[in-house]
């Protein structure tokens, strides 16, 4: 188990360095590409020709999505940079999460049946809280509840939220705060249940 934790720690350290270097390089590339696109660098220079032939084809999918949503094509480099940063944060968080779960499984296995039951109950509450969080984020970005990456969160959370909506009206007639209330109820319940076990 210690070897696995050491490997995960090393993976997190390597991922941090790799994504930091990637973010620095992506920042430099995006600044230059943005300067070429906005004509702050002469479109006839060697740098501009290189970026148009090498970097712009990589930015084309991002640019198409921006244009479809009514955005400005010259902002494609900034969206690409945001994607690199968000991807780095997600990968580093996932590696840390896996390390934490490996540690929790090892601790639960050492505590016997009671530890395993506590771990499973903690996972159930954690999954429900994650589903609420995903549902809120999906509503912010305007994702349809029928989308495959959102549907699971609605399936898990709707049985909790439907009864709450009968007692908690939308704030200002529009803002549904039942996911926030449900999240705090889950926090309270998880603490009570885990302390009882």
Last residue of a domain, one of 80, 110, 140: 110
Residue-wise pLDDT for 47-93, tens only, equals: 888 888 888 888 888 888 888 888 888 888 888 888 888 888 888 88
Pairwise CA distance, residues 136 & 175, whole Å = 11
Please count the CA atoms within 13 angstroms of the CA of 197 that sit on its side-chain side: 19
pLDDT reading at 141 higher than 80: no
Residue-wise pLDDT for 105-126, tens only, equals: 888 888 888 888 888 988 898 8
Q: Are residues 116 and 106 in the same domain?
A: no
Q: Are residues 34 and 65 in the same domain?
A: yes
Q: How many residues does the chain have?
A: 197
Q: Are residues 98 and 9 in the same domain?
A: yes
* Distance in Å from the first CA to the final CA of the chain: 25
pLDDT reading at 179 higher than 70: yes
Range 39-60 burial, b when 16+ CB lie within 10 A, else e: eebeeeeeebeebeeebbeebe
Question: Which residue range(s) make up the domain with 57?
Answer: 1-110
Q: Are residues 103 and 137 in the same domain?
A: no
């Amino acid at each position: 188990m210690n070897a696995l934790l050491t490997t995960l720690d090393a993976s997190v350290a390597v991922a941090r360095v790799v994504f930091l270097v990637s973010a620095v390089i992506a920042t430099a590339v995006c600044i230059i590409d943005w300067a070429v696109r906005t004509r702050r660098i002469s479109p006839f220079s060697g740098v501009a020709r290189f970026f148009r032939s090498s970097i712009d084809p990589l930015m084309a999918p991002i640019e198409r999505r921006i244009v479809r949503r009514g955005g400005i094509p010259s902002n494609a480099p900034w969206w690409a940079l945001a994607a690199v940063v968000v991807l780095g944060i997600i990968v580093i968080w996932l590696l840390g999460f896996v390390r934490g779960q490996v540690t929790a499984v090892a601790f639960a296995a050492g505590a016997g049946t009671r530890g395993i039951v506590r771990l499973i109950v903690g996972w159930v509450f954690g999954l429900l809280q994650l589903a609420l969080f995903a549902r809120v984020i999906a509503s912010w970005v305007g994702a349809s509840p029928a989308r495959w990456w959102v549907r699971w969160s609605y399936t898990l959370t709707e049985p909790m939220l439907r009864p709450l909506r009968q007692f908690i009206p939308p704030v200002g007639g529009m803002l549904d705060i039942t996911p926030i209330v449900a999240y705090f109820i889950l926090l309270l319940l998880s603490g009570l249940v885990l302390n009882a076990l």
